[in-house]
Amino acid sequence: MLAVILAAVFSGCGGDDAKMVSSFSSFEAQSSSPVSENENKYVRVPLVRGMNMTCWEMKEWRPVEYLTEEKYYKELTSKGFDHVRIPVDFTLYSQNTGDYIIDSDFLTKLDTAIRLALDNGLYAVLDMHGCGSISRNVSAYEDMLYSYWRQLSERYSGYDERLLFELLNEPNTKGTEGDDPLNGEKLNRIINNLIKIIRETNPDRVIVAALGNGNTVYDMDSVTLPEDDPNIIAAFHSYEPMEFTHQGVTWSATADYPAPCEWKQEYEDTVEDVINRAAEWSEKTGRQVWLGEFGVSLEKLPESSVSQYLSFITRLCEEKNIGWCYWEFWMSFGAFNRHTDS
């Protein structure tokens, strides 16, 4: 299926990277001191085409070790990808009481994955892919999240600037029930506290932030980022329209999107609205936006519909100078066939 994805992507952009790549100035982490209003205030990171390297964010996939095998990073580089995102649920690999110490054996594996990405010319985004039930009970999990990022920021403070820290994946700030549910005000506090924690050891590290409910473009104003910190970019996710991208999935108890559902004009309108909203936010604020997740279930869809969707959304992103990161490499949305190792 990687071949289908590549064919769709490169046909969608005409096979020419020059326009997209040239839109990013040569990347260098900016000084954390305030920048004049009439200067280019904020960092631009050359995240153009990426892949989510999944498995460490799910309990069921903990035994999988492909992230520590170099051949997969070499394959991505050879196919024109320039970055990977590494989602991790650290609650699966840590003490869940006390100081929330992350398991040293797992951290050694994570070191390997990051270094393999960097050594093969890829940027790496380390993604905090959730933190227990923080959306339902902030007071019970907030300290855990802070502890994780203290440990990680200290451990990776000396790493190449091509390693980025993504603070929290898809925070759920609306409609969540619980003892202390997350909302926009609490998310704003948490994101800004995390920025301060990371800046203690990584003053210029590029940080990736979710700005509202579920990383959607419909809620990008819950978080106010510090204006005197130029090295922060915003992540958004898009699986619109869900009835197309999630049709036929078998792993979700809540998704009921029957297959087949062919790609059609109204879906193009929906996707175009999402990408335009992200581009407008970027133009308004001056900060870079990055499509950190998008993708389609490959369980039921014919290749022709997959190609139509992928070529359309990636072409739109590249027209708007928005980098993207496909979800995902290994599982039901997977670009890679783990059964044939190809």
Question: Which tens digits make up the pLDDT trace of 297-312?
Answer: 877 777 888 899 999 9
Residue 334 has pLDDT above 80, yes or no: no
Residue 40 has pLDDT above 80, yes or no: no
Give the CA distances from residue 276 to residues 17, 163, 319, in Å, rounded to whole numbers and listed in that order. Answer: 21, 28, 10
The pTM assigned to this predicted structure is 0.90
User: Buried b vs exposed e over 79-105: b needs ≥16 C-beta within 10 Å?
Assistant: bebbbbbbbbbbbbbbeeeeebebeee
Residue 269 to residue 271: CA distance in whole angstroms: 6
Residue 57 has pLDDT above 50, yes or no: yes
Question: Which tens digits make up the pLDDT trace of 111-154?
Answer: 999 999 999 999 999 999 989 899 999 999 999 999 999 999 99
Phi, psi values for residue 180, rounded to 5°: -150, 70
Question: Which tens digits make up the pLDDT trace of 215-268?
Answer: 999 999 899 999 999 999 999 999 999 888 888 776 665 567 776 778 889 999
Question: Which tens digits make up the pLDDT trace of 148-171?
Answer: 999 999 999 999 999 999 999 999
63 versus 127: the higher-pLDDT residue is: 127
Residue 288 has pLDDT above 60, yes or no: yes
pLDDT band at 177 (very low <50, low <70, confident <90, very high): confident
Predicted confidence at residue 341, as pLDDT, reads 67
Phi, psi values for residue 48, rounded to 5°: -110, -60
Predicted confidence at residue 304, as pLDDT, reads 84
